[in-house]
Structure 1
Amino acid sequence: MGQSPLLGELHRVLRYRLVEANLADIARELGMSERTLQRRLREAGTSFQSELNTVQVRTAQALLLESDAKLTSVAVEVGCASLQHFSSLFRKMTGESPSAWRARHRKTP
């Protein structure tokens, strides 16, 4: 996908730590200081929060396709504090609500 090695590794780590993801712990797991991680992400044109949101939405998309889990359960699983926050984040990043996205992508051809 043309993704930098740093972003690939960051996404891999975040996928397993979405619920408790924080900059300090993730930086330590990647073997660098918080400041270094922030600097390297800025050099890549992104931020920790932006990458966390990306992984949350991608993980949610997979869950929406693969299961019939309620939206509240998906929200909790990807580390969102509430269904409202999850729905807002999802809509901001995909342009549609989680339920509309699920319905559109699960349709059989």
Structure 2
Amino acid sequence: MLDDLILIALLLSACLYWFSGQRVKEAALKAVQTHCLELDVQMLDEYVALAGIRLKRDRTGKMQLQRTFRFEFSSTGNERYNGVCMMLGRRVESIQMEPYRFDS
């Protein structure tokens, strides 16, 4: 009986973690899309890929999950460049992009 309750609690925790991660991934995707539009570059594949997770303290000292997402973009349509979106909890911490060429 106790083993069943522990198993159910573990499965429920895993599901909640996955759903929370999906919401953060969607927020990262929207932030990257908006950032690319502002810089007039094309986000490729319309996809962000989870590259890492670690614990980090936010400004108030609370422990949060910091997720790193990678994405690709193009400025001219010929080259592919890499970018990184860092999320702390559900908040965008930073978006960094490789230096890229642009046509004037």
Q: By the TM > 0.5 criterion, same fold?
A: no
Larger Rg: 1 or 2? 2
Quick check: which one's strand share is greater? Answer: 2
TM-score (norm 2): 0.30
Bigger RCO (CA 8 Å, 6+ sep): 1
User: TM-score, with normalisation over the residues of structure 1?
Assistant: 0.29
